[in-house]
Amino acid sequence: MLDSNERIARLQLARSNGIGPVTFRRLIERYGTAARAAAQVPELSKRGGRAKPLELCPRAQVEDEIAKITALGASLVIYGDDDYPAHLAAIEDAPIVLTVRGQASLLKKAGVGVVGSRNASLQGRRFAESVSADLGRAGLIVSSGLARGIDTAAHTASLASGTIAVVAGGVDVIYPAENKALYEKICDTGAVIAENTLGTQPMAQHFPRRNRIISGLSMGVVIIEGTLKSGSLITAHMAADQGREVWAVPGHPMDPRSGGPNALIRDGATLVTSAADILDTLSRLQQRKIVSEPKHPSTDFPAGDPDASILDAARDALIPLLGAVPCGVDDLMRETQIPPSIVQIVLLELELAGRLTRHPGNRVSAPYIEYEMDKPAFVR
């Protein structure tokens, strides 16, 4: 169990610009505690080439956030705490902190994600209701994104058995507004969770990050309607990358909303006609264990900082290899023959300096600012 000072230090890291979930894990691996890591962040960012050392989110600011969360009747679930769900901790970019309204204990129970089109058909909504109710009766928690259409149907049908709504903005921001009554019911009997701070209005870039939490909380996700470019397909691909099951409900080939599920089935997803198909898959996977370890390999950092000359030489070798296209960290190690621990320290420095972008699959790239190209800037 984390003590109060470590919880605050972890929240400070989470709320600091330039520190994402993967960087957070690297810092904890390197320094053992968030408190020790926080003390090193300014110097690391300076060594990485940042003109002005990175400043952490002030302690007073996170203490104020904690007070507001308490006043709201919500709670914080922080990575490394006993109440953090092990299956979510297993994903590469698990959120550092979650704000929870409702029953936080639901996050640790076995569940299935049910997602699909906002512009859902009547039959699609009815199927979502049927399968979600049946999954709930089987003792599973249903997770979704509180969106219109399939998400709304899934939450509504699983209120009695337990449902988790993962929202893209702050946990206190109801989106869409039409789901206010449903949101309040979920707060009473289920859980509404958010990675972002209170009051954050949902923006386009928040939704893919929300989707990785829906799949990360689940043993697998069910896709019920969705176009080939829909957010539901993003969730399905994230689930596959996380080693989770992907189920898809087939539809008529002339309906664009069936394009996503049909393509997933073509590519190997399990075809679903009822909750029994999902339960059958899960029963055959009972022996499978999702461990609470990150997907990326553990790094053996040295006890102390290497000589400055060693780090300088490693930077000189690594920086020219970083381009607009993400490349694997393992590939960088093989190409340079630099020890993994040194590579990880340099990448950590560069990211804290704003000179490196992390991508899923333990890949990295240089941010757009490093290039003189007539292309849109990368979203960090």
Report helix, strand or coil for 150.
helix
Report helix, strand or coil for 107.
helix
Reading the chain (380 residues) residue by residue, the pLDDT tens digits are 889 999 999 999 999 988 999 999 999 989 999 999 999 999 999 999 998 999 999 999 999 999 999 999 999 999 999 999 999 999 999 999 999 999 999 999 999 999 999 999 999 999 999 999 999 999 999 999 999 999 999 999 999 999 999 999 999 999 999 999 999 999 999 999 999 999 999 999 999 999 999 999 999 999 999 999 999 999 999 999 999 999 999 999 999 999 999 999 999 999 999 999 999 999 888 755 544 444 444 445 555 677 888 999 999 999 999 999 999 999 999 999 999 989 999 999 999 999 999 887 889 999 854 333 333 332 22
The DSSP symbol for 92 reads: T
Cα–Cα nearest to 329, from 307, 372, 358, 354:
358
Phi, psi of 117 (to 5 degrees): -65, 140
Domain 100-284: give its CATH architecture: 3-Layer(aba) Sandwich (3.40)
The DSSP symbol for 272 reads: -
Token pair belonging to 9: 């230090």
The domains of the chain are located at: 4-83, 100-284, 308-370
The DSSP symbol for 316 reads: H
Give the model's pLDDT for residue 369: 43
Give the model's pLDDT for residue 359: 85
Greatest Cα pair distance in the chain: 65
Question: What are residue 86's DSSP bridge partners?
Answer: none
Domain 308-370: give its CATH architecture: Orthogonal Bundle (1.10)
The predicted model scores a pTM of 0.88
